[in-house]
Amino acid sequence: MKLYVSPLPPLRSGESRVSNERNATLALLRKIFGNDVQYSHKPSGAPLITSAGKEYLVSISHSASTVAIAVADGEDAIGVDVETYRTQLERVQSKYLSEAEMEIFTSAIDKLKAWTAKEAVYKAALTPGLPLTEIDCTRMADGIVTAGSRTYSIVFPASTLSETIAIATR
């Protein structure tokens, strides 16, 4: 697995946030795969990257200031999430943390890591509608997160309140 990270450029006058994110994503994809890269989506919603006639398994995430792209290297599933701490994570914790997780994840950074881990696993699982409370992070300290009968490895290349990145692979 390889991770590529790039800052989002400032919004230009009249440019939407979505357009800015898409342009930054395409620029980073060109840097990774070359100018012939084709970017689309599979029916599941997962990114589909094609370059030089080869397809690549990738996951893409954006925060307010960053675009992150994780490229699988032998893994059969990959998900990445990049987030900045927001106080609403405290208010909605019962919607993404189980009771057992609420006992484990008490600090702001722990809750942010749990959120990004769950989002990364959600992307890797490719299971639309998978409730975040059904993604179990109680073994996250061991680098393991589960969703149903599937086990994912989880790593945090960055872990601060200003930027946390989680990558889930299977």
Query: What is the reported pLDDT for 41?
Result: 87
In whole angstroms, give the CA distance from residue 23 to residue 9. Answer: 9
Query: What is the reported pLDDT for 128?
Result: 85
In whole angstroms, give the CA distance from residue 25 to residue 147. Answer: 28
Query: What is the reported pLDDT for 6?
Result: 97
Do the Cβ atoms of 168 and 145 come closer than 8 Å?
A: yes
Buried b (16+ CB within 10 A) or exposed e, 2-27: ebbbeebeeeeeeeeeeebbeebbee
In whole angstroms, give the CA distance from residue 12 to residue 24. Answer: 13
Query: What is the reported pLDDT for 46?
Result: 84
pTM: 0.95
Q: Which two tokens stand for residue 128?
A: 């639309």
Query: What is the reported pLDDT for 135?
Result: 98
pLDDT tens, position by position, for the chain (170 residues)? Answer: 999 999 999 999 999 999 999 999 999 999 999 999 999 988 878 888 999 999 999 999 999 899 999 999 888 899 999 999 999 999 999 999 999 999 999 999 999 999 999 999 999 998 888 999 999 999 999 999 999 899 999 999 999 999 999 999 99
